[in-house]
Structure 1
C-alpha cells in the first residue's frame, strides 16, 4: 500500500497526488510510469511519474478524472488514504542529453 501524502486540485477534474512510495522513488527516472490499483475491485491503470523525491521516498502523480478508476481516485481518496497497489517504475527512461540551456 502507498499512503497519499498530499492531494491538490490543479484544475477542474485534474489533481496532483504526492504518494509515499519509497521503493519506486529510489529507482525511478524521468519518463517512467507506475501502474496503480485503488482497491481490490478497481482496474489497473498506468500513470506517469510527474516528479519524485528520493530522500523523502515520494512520487508525484497528476491525474485527470475521466474514467471510472480515475474518477474514483480523485473523488473519494484524500490525504492519509492508502492506494492498494503502486507497481513500478516501469517503461524506459527518457534519454537526456546535454543540449545547452533548455526552457520547457
Structure 2
C-alpha cells in the first residue's frame, strides 16, 4: 500500500461546505487504496476530537492556525505581492511538522 501525505488548510471534518467537503471526500477516496497521513491546521477554539477521519487516516497531525489581526492582514495585502492565503497559512509549526513527516 502506498503511503500518502495530505495537507489541508483546515481539518476536513465535519464536511459541511466548500473546502472541508472536498477535502473530506479526497481523504475518503484516497484512503480506500492507500495509507493516509493528514496534516492540517486547527482553528482557534476547535479541538481535535475523535471523528470518522480517525478510521480513514493512519495518522492525523494538527497545528494551530497562526493568529493574525485585521491590521496585520491589511498591511500584508497592501505591501506584498503574495496572496492573502499565503500569509494566512504561513506557519513555522506547520513547516516543522511537515519536515518531520518527510
TM-score normalized by structure 2?
0.26
Structure having the higher helix fraction is 2
Structure label with greater radius of gyration: 2
| Richer in strand (by share) | 1
More relative contact order in 1 or in 2 (CA 8 Å, sep 6+)? 1
